[in-house]
Structure 1
Amino acid sequence: MSYDFLYEVGEDGIAHITLNRPEVMNALTFDIYAQLRDLFAGLRGNDEVRVVVLTGAGEHFCSGGDVHGIIGELFKRDMKGHLEFTRMTGAVVQHMRLLDKPIIASLNGMTAGAGAVLALASDLRIASEKARIAFLFSRVGLTGADMGAAHMLPRVIGMGRATELLMLGDTIDATTAERYGLVNRVVPYEELQEATLQWARKLAQGPGFALSMTKHMLNAEQHMDIVSALEAEAQAQALMLMGEDHRLFYEAAKDKQKPKFTGR
């Protein structure tokens, strides 16, 4: 399939999605939203892919929706047309969260609007020291609650910080984002690609089914009380204890070797 971004899968099981409109800071179009939605949905059944890396070409990650290509066009639509668009953008996030594989957002530069939400919807975020993040919806007369931001952001950085970022729409630098807990790690700009690949390789070589179950449980337990969470984890872990990867770990440990996981 042809995409309006770069997409490739290496022999190591790492899929690379690179937003590729550097002349407009990798702004998103209607087609790119739809293509990302369908790609993330399809990856759920793709056993060749074990980890996804999402980044932007050039010096920036993503500046959000294209001002002229999207905003200008939306003014020509009625309410039903607007709702179709917002549901489509939300579906991108839905399929990212439902994807049973880790997603790493590699933030090289400006990460704004919908770009910030794509980073937020990823499982891990590693940023270069040049990265800047802004949930700027309120600055353009829109609610900060877009594409699931009001659901996800408080769970990542807390209600107070989330309210600050979604209401003020201020741009924060990478150091502040790390202090808030919005990014997991900040590295020098020239080291970003290698640092991202180190994480991706480690995850790709890890126990795929166990990582999938971990992501599933992190999603599910956000809505559980402690008793329900404990029972859910007991059932999940009992299943994993019978898994092939856990047995491979045990056999390797007996031989003082490093396990080679199969993802089962």
Structure 2
Amino acid sequence: MTQISTVKFKENEYQMLHFNIKDGVANITLDNAPVNALSGKLIIELKQVLNNLSTDKNVKVIIFDSKNPDFFIAHVDINILEEQAILEELGKAAPQGLNIFQAVGEMLREQPQITIVKLKGIARGGGAEFVAAADMSFASLEKGKLSQCEALMGIIPGGGATQYLSSKMTRGRALEVILGADLFDATTAERYGWINRAIPDAEIDTFVDRLAQNIANLPDGVIETTKKVLSPIRNVQGFQLENDGWAALVFNPETARIMKGAIQNGAQTVEGELKLEGILRALNK
């Protein structure tokens, strides 16, 4: 998969994002080859563009999709701890009570524009949390898939999933998603309330583009007022409990063994990521 060259947008340079803005709708395409892992650098670029767009009164809707046909965001980069300087920068900037991964989702939820994810591939872990944090999410019926696979790595979700899923589905279903750690198809994800709709792949672009344009064409003030009335609830204690639970597990020797084994067996390659749950389950035997 060819990596995007550096592009400039609103005086900032980007290596992992494409931009197309027209008629009040910003299309942002993720491109972090080979599988769109959520690295520290990608988080920096996402934070930067959301900050820039937050003051742009001409942009009403932001659509996120992926250049990679197989993956939206594979999951948090397993090698993210190697980006220590970036992690320290992100940690200092994170709102009080949130870790750097939770801060990504909360920034997305608090964006003044309507945020929409168009899911045509796999989103796991931090990628699935990104999907859940967006105002709306639509998945390709044939290609869209979601998974909170952290339990197979010996940890729990640490980027907001426990909070987002508990507001979207029953407790039993949230427990199934997190502890069952399966890859969910778009039909089931829709039925559980994880996404807005599962739409045939041949129709999803037209549907999302039409919806986004209809929203962007609304009179001034309607979007902002609606988002205030339907504001996301941040359970500070819930986010803290999630972070504490994740932090208590992430540095365990067993977790390190699983992570290392996953990389050795193809994690973060296209071939390996297409069957990641199987790879992780084999490492748990």
Relative to the length of structure 2, the TM-score reads: 0.69
1:218 Cα offset (Å):
1.8
Map 1:1-264 to 2 at 5 A. 1-21=12-32, 23-59=33-69, 60-68=71-79, 70=80, 73=82, 87-129=99-141, 130-144=143-157, 146-219=158-231
Aligned-partner residue type, residue 140 of structure 1: M
Residue 217 of structure 1, CA deviation: 2.2
CA distance in structure 2 between the aligned counterparts of 1:106 and 1:20, rounded to whole angstroms: 14
The alignment of Structure 1 onto Structure 2 pairs a total of residues equal to: 217
Could you list the per-position Cα deviations for residues 124-183 of structure 1 after superposition, in whole angstroms to 9, with x for gaps in the alignment?
111002111001122212222x22211111111232211221222221101100111111
Separation in structure 2 between the aligned mates of residue 152 and residue 41 of structure 1, nearest angstrom: 22
- Secondary structure of residue in 2 paired with 1:219: coil
Higher alpha-carbon deviation: 81-90 or 106-115:
81-90
Q: CA deviation at 1:52?
A: 0.2
Q: Is the 8 A contact 1:64 1:115 kept in 2?
A: yes
CA change 1:167–1:80 in 2 (3 A) is farther
Q: Which runs of 4+ in 1 moved over 3 A?
A: 79-86, 220-223
1:75-132 residue CA offsets vs partner (Å, 9 max, x unmatched) = x89x989966982322221211111111110000101111101111101111002111
Between the aligned partners of 1:66 and 1:222, the Cα distance in structure 2 is 25
SS at structure 2 position matched to 1:100: coil
Q: In 1, Cα distance between the equivalents of 2:205 and 2:137?
A: 12
- Alignment RMSD (CA, Å): 2.6
For the 8 Å contact 1:37–1:91, the answer to whether it is kept is no
Query: Which is greater in Rg?
Result: 1
Provide the TM-score with structure 1 as the length reference.
0.74
Cα distance in 1 for partners of 2:119, 2:91 equals: 29
Q: Is this contact kept in 2: 1:9–1:16, CA < 8 A? A: yes
Pick the structure with more helix per residue.
1
User: 1:7, 1:15 within 8 Å by CA — same for their partners in 2?
Assistant: no
Contact 2:18 2:31 (8 Å CA) reproduced: no
Q: Is the 8 A contact 1:9 1:49 kept in 2?
A: no
Secondary structure of 2:26's counterpart equals: strand
Displacement after TM superposition at 1:41 (Å): 2.5
Cα distance in 2 for partners of 1:222, 1:27 equals: 26
